[in-house]
């Protein structure tokens, strides 16, 4: 099998490439390398690396010309800085996906298409009210967060809610530019699938971490921020009260989910998660403990970022059912490795 991995020099794409090459696949990587300060040394020699922008129609047509399957990982990731980023996100993620799909259409590609999506398309997690069942709380107000009221209340009766696992049929509610472009990436890919009959799977990654994760930037997730702080001798700063729940899934597991998806014909969105939720404070504590006896302890600051989601926890059931995917790296083992794993500059 010959597979095109867009963004294959990146963090998650690189792990996908490692596993595909290990499985004996022929791999073409299309990557602009704009997020790299030095050429990636981790790519296996056997990989056919094409350094080009996804929005370059000729480069995309050449790279995808004779592949059997496409694994689309290239994207501008993270939360961004402010709305000044909007045109760059739309250009990289929406237009980049569109140029890829047009190239595939022009060669009448009906092979397997797997696209990287994110749990950010859900907006909020799933919550349950003791009186009203499953409810959708609105965004948390600055006044509530200032007062340390971090848990979103029931929108109907104001009662305390408990979190529940989000399933793929939850209504999408993208709340930032990145989330909107990820949902659009999925939608464009599904349109391609409907028009051509190509089986399309969108993998909704939860909080991915692991070796070669990019270091702390305005675009980085919390695992990288905490790990970079420790490397600099600083304590991880845990926002809110540290009780926010997430699902941290190891990049090697995410890569395996991609390989399983490439080998299946399931069409639709699938959560990719470890199934082992933890609070942000638990993650910070585990990482500090694994970093070594001299590591500073996490500091719970009570700060908040307006627009942050309180709890997002995936249901990993569909991934198990349709892809046969279950994460193999436990939280404890993954954090122990991540505490000393190399990060990308």
With respect to ligand UD1, which residue has the nearer C-beta, 246 or 278? 246
CB of 320 to ligand UD1, least distance (A): 19
With respect to ligand UD1, which residue has the nearer C-beta, 50 or 76? 76
CA dist 51 and 53 (Å) reads 7
CB of 171 to ligand UD1, least distance (A): 18
CB of 221 to ligand UD1, least distance (A): 3
With respect to ligand UD1, which residue has the nearer C-beta, 199 or 334? 334
CB of 39 to ligand UD1, least distance (A): 25
CA dist 342 and 345 (Å) reads 9
CB atoms within 10 A of CB 20: 25
Residue ranges that bind ligand UD1, judged by CB under 6 A: 77-79, 118-120, 178, 205-208, 220-222, 225, 237-240, 244, 246, 280, 305, 308-309
The strand pairing partners of 103, in sequence order, are: none
**Inter-CA distances, 109 with 19, 264, 274, Å:** 24, 17, 32
DSSP H or E segment with residue 223:
helix 222-231
CA dist 265 and 247 (Å) reads 26
DSSP H or E segment with residue 334:
helix 331-338
Q: Tokens for 222?
A: 């919390």
CB of 136 to ligand UD1, least distance (A): 17
CA dist 284 and 281 (Å) reads 5
Query: Tokens 């609070």 sit at which residue?
Result: 279
With respect to ligand UD1, which residue has the nearer C-beta, 178 or 190? 178
Q: Do residues 148 and 41 make contact, with C-beta atoms less than 8 angstroms apart?
A: no
CB of 197 to ligand UD1, least distance (A): 29
CB of 301 to ligand UD1, least distance (A): 8
CB of 70 to ligand UD1, least distance (A): 21
Closest residue by Cα to residue 25 from 114, 107, 93: 114
Q: Tokens for 234?
A: 């600083």
CB of 237 to ligand UD1, least distance (A): 5
Closest residue by Cα to residue 344 from 220, 195, 258, 245: 220
With respect to ligand UD1, which residue has the nearer C-beta, 207 or 258? 207
CA dist 99 and 192 (Å) reads 12
Q: Do residues 74 and 117 make contact, with C-beta atoms less than 8 angstroms apart?
A: no
With respect to ligand UD1, which residue has the nearer C-beta, 111 or 277? 277
With respect to ligand UD1, which residue has the nearer C-beta, 25 or 313? 313
With respect to ligand UD1, which residue has the nearer C-beta, 44 or 174? 174
**Inter-CA distances, 260 with 67, 71, 255, 323, Å:** 17, 11, 9, 6
With respect to ligand UD1, which residue has the nearer C-beta, 27 or 79? 79
């Amino acid at each position: 099998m010959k597979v095109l991995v867009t963004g294959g020099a990146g963090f998650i794409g690189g792990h996908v490439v490692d596993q595909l090459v290990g499985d004996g696949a022929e791999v073409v990587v299309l990557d602009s390398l704009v997020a790299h300060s030095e050429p990636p040394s981790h790519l296996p020699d056997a990989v056919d690396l094409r350094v080009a922008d996804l929005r370059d129609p000729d480069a995309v047509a050449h790279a995808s010309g004779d592949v059997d399957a496409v694994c689309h990982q290239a994207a501008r990731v993270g939360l961004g800085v402010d709305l000044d980023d909007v045109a760059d996100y739309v250009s990289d993620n929406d237009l980049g996906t569109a140029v890829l799909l047009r190239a595939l259409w022009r060669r009448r590609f009906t092979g397997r298409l797997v696209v990287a999506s994110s749990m950010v398309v859900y907006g909020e997690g799933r919550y349950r009210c003791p009186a009203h069942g499953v409810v959708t709380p609105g965004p948390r107000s600055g006044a509530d967060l200032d007062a340390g009221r971090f848990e979103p209340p029931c929108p109907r009766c104001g009662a305390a809610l408990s979190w529940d696992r989000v399933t793929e049929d939850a209504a999408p509610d993208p709340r930032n530019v990145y989330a909107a472009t990820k949902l659009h990436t999925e939608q464009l890919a599904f349109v391609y699938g409907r028009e051509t009959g190509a089986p399309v799977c969108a993998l909704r990654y939860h909080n991915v971490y692991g070796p070669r994760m990019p270091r702390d930037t305005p675009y980085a997730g919390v695992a990288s921020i905490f790990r970079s702080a420790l490397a600099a001798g600083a304590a991880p700063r845990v926002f809110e009260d540290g009780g926010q729940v997430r699902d941290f899934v190891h990049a090697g597991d995410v890569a395996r989910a991609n390989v399983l998806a490439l080998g299946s014909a399931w069409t639709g969105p699938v959560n990719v998660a470890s199934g082992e939720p933890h609070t942000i404070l638990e993650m910070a504590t585990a990482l500090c403990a694994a970093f070594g006896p001299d590591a500073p302890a996490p500091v719970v600051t009570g700060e908040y970022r307006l627009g942050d989601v309180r709890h997002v926890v995936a249901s990993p059931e569909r991934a198990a059912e349709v892809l046969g995917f279950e994460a193999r790296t436990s939280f404890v083992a993954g954090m122990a490795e991540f505490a000393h794993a190399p990060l990308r500059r």
